Amino acid sequence: RNEIAARSTPITFLRLTTYCFEIRLTVPSPATSSASTSSSAAAITLTSPDLLDAFHSPIAALLLRAAQSSPESPSEPPPGEYELIGAFISGRDWKVDESYDSASVLICGRRNWNAEDVLVRLGILELGAGGLLGVDEDTAVVKGAMNNERRLDVQLRELDIY
């Protein structure tokens, strides 16, 4: 920690190579969202993958946090389709082809909700007990993250997170 603080050149991004998956979201236009909706997070729809229902609200709330990633960003995401990245960053007792007690997934999105902008960290999701099954050196499936006991496909990717 002291070595990082003592650096004369600030760290501007983190490069990770890890298993990742895409999360697709839809933010409705104000005209199509219900006037009785108490928060914008409630109107955001997770379109894929079919993650456990318990993850929907936290992921929608993380999308709203993207507004804090830049002063010029609007306070809420404009209507449209968005893609977040879930990147596995840690886990306890987590080995390929075995079960794990828990795993942390870093959720990242594009700054200012601009598909051409850099990835920024929005927050962390903690997956409960599940498993990671290796398919080949770049692909795996995760047990315990999807509804109806389906498995989540993940790909080994290199990400630059700002």
In a domain, 5, yes or no: no
- Percentage of residues of the chain with pLDDT beyond 70: 78
In a domain, 23, yes or no: yes
> How does the average pLDDT of the chain come out, rounded?
79
Residue carrying the six token digits 């006991």:
149
Instruction: Answer yes or no: are the C-beta atoms of 84 and 113 closer than 8 Å.
Output: no
In a domain, 114, yes or no: yes
In a domain, 7, yes or no: no
In a domain, 123, yes or no: yes
Q: In the chain, how many domains are there?
A: 1
Interatomic CA distance for residues 97 and 99, integer angstroms: 7
In a domain, 3, yes or no: no
In a domain, 2, yes or no: no
What is the pLDDT, as a whole number, of residue 160?
95
Domain range for 64 is 17-161
What is the pLDDT, as a whole number, of residue 36?
45
In a domain, 82, yes or no: yes
Least confident of 8-12, 75-79, 92-96, 143-147: 92-96
44-65 pLDDT tens trace:
788 888 888 888 888 877 776 6
Q: Which residues contact 107 (CB under 8 A, 6 or more apart)?
A: 23, 59, 62, 84, 85, 86, 87, 121, 122, 123, 124, 125
**How does residue 74 score in pLDDT terms, banded at 50, 70 and 90?**
low
18-46 pLDDT tens trace:
999 999 988 888 776 555 444 555 577 88
First to last CA, the chain: 18
10 Å CB burial of residue 105 (0-12, 13-18, 19+) is: buried
